[in-house]
Amino acid sequence: MLRLIIIAVICTISLLLIAGYLSHIITNDLLLIAISIGLSTVVVPTILIFIWPAPKGRQHNSKQVFVDDGESINQNEDLNVSPMGAIARRFLSARRKQLFGSKAIFEHYHQVRESELLEVEHKLQIPIPSNLRMWLLLVGYGDVAEELSFRAEWFKPVNFGALKGSALFAQDILGNFYSFDSINGNIYFFSRSAPEYALLAPDFRSFMEELERRDFKVLEWVNSLSVLPYNWTN
């Protein structure tokens, strides 16, 4: 509806200019030509770019996610059948309204292969939880709502403190870290500004479901946590 109103306004302005010229209200030929060119080549395209509805959901050209050379998993099947695939599908299709149009919640950065995850596990010396593994293979590295970032470089072992033996796997825009426990799969929050931590969820799937329930606002979530002191020295 808004798009039609904008187009109608532009057409009305154009008609008024033509009427003004024909009735000799506007007598400057060069002014009329300049305004007309401006409307047709700058104003109209710019307005339509911002007003035209963005496509709903991110389009996936690839039908398969490569696990390794010669092997693959069916992306469409896993997105529709598996519980983690259903979560991934909702994240990929979710959008957030903006002043003009909307923007995808998940911004893709890099498609992940199984061989890359094996390299990460070799570095960590612990296995990646199955739900996190499935998420990365289906969705890849990227950012959720411009707040939570998944990257290969965020994977680091936790070598000190009560959660020694766990691993970091994500980071938010304030530099806070998120980790998984290699024994029971718990997801923890580590504050960047203070030696503090808190339990977020019993596993990665629950973590992503809760993040979705909270409208993908991870910073609001962690700011509401009751944190505990963390000793990084032993």
Q: List pLDDT tens digits, range 163-219.
A: 999 999 999 999 999 999 989 999 999 999 999 999 999 999 999 999 999 999 999
Residue 59 has pLDDT above 60, yes or no: no
Residue 12 has pLDDT above 60, yes or no: yes
Please give the structure tokens belonging to residue 54: 């963005």
Task: Compute φ and ψ for 165, nearest 5 degrees.
Answer: 100, -10
Give pLDDT tens digits for 111-169.
Answer: 999 999 999 999 999 999 999 999 999 999 999 999 999 999 999 999 999 999 999 99
Give pLDDT tens digits for 63-77.
Answer: 444 444 444 445 555
Distance CA 73, CA 91 (A): 19
How high does pLDDT run on average in the chain? 82
pLDDT at 99: 84
- 98-103 long-range contacts (CB < 8 A, ≥24 apart) are 100/50, 100/51, 101/50, 101/51, 101/52, 101/53, 101/54, 102/53, 102/54, 103/54
Mean pLDDT score, 26-34 = 62
- 69-78 long-range contacts (CB < 8 A, ≥24 apart) are 69/115, 71/114, 73/137, 75/138, 78/134, 78/138
- Secondary structure of residue 142 in the 3-state scheme: strand
pLDDT at 95: 95
